[in-house]
Each structure stands twice: as C-alpha cells, then as structure tokens.
Amino acid sequence: MMGRIAMLLGLCAGIAGCSEAETKAEDDTCGAAAYQTRIGQPVDELGLTAGDKLRILGPGQPMTMDFRPDRMNIETDSAGQILRVFCG
C-alpha cells in the first residue's frame, strides 16, 4: 500500500513538473519582435539611442540583472552587428 502511495505521489510530482516546464510564447512587451529581421545588420542603421527603455550591449559589457519587460535589449558583436534582440 505504501509503495502505491509513493508511486502516486511521484507521478503527481512528475505531472506537475511537466506542466511547469511548458513555456508559453514570450510576450513581446518591449517591441523586440519588430527588430528580429534586423539580426546580422549594423546596430547603427537602426537609428536608436540607448535610454531608459533600450539597452545596447556590446561583447563583455556588464549589464544589470533587473528584469524589465518593457525594456528592449540589443546585443551586438565587436563589429556592431546585431546578434540578439530581446525584452528584459
């Protein structure tokens, strides 16, 4: 009887873990989706300036770890080419 209860609890935990692991489509709260087609292009061609709602990050550049869903982050390589655009 104890074995069945333990197995049932394990199964419930496994199912709960699976539902937590499912990821929803990321909300585009910062407008990053509009810039996904610009990956590989020079960041200077965007005509954007870094500010409160935009971070432009070069290689090795430190950044704060605060998550702000309304802030767009543009990650570039050493030549200024866009590698990644994401919210946070």
Distance CA 43, CA 81 (A): 6
Percent of the chain at pLDDT > 70 equals 70
At the top level of CATH, the class of 27-87 is alpha beta
pTM over 0.85: no
DSSP reduced 3-state for 13: helix
Structure confidence by residue, pLDDT tens digits, 10-64: 555 555 554 433 334 458 999 999 999 999 999 999 998 888 899 999 999 999 9
Question: What are the structural domain ranges in the chain?
Answer: 27-87
Helix (H) or strand (E) holding 75: strand 72-76
pLDDT at site 49: 86
Structure confidence by residue, pLDDT tens digits, 56-83: 999 999 999 999 999 999 999 999 999 9
DSSP per residue, 31-45: SGGGGGGGTTSBGGG
> Which structure tokens are listed for 86?
């994401």
pLDDT at site 30: 96
Average pLDDT for the chain: 82
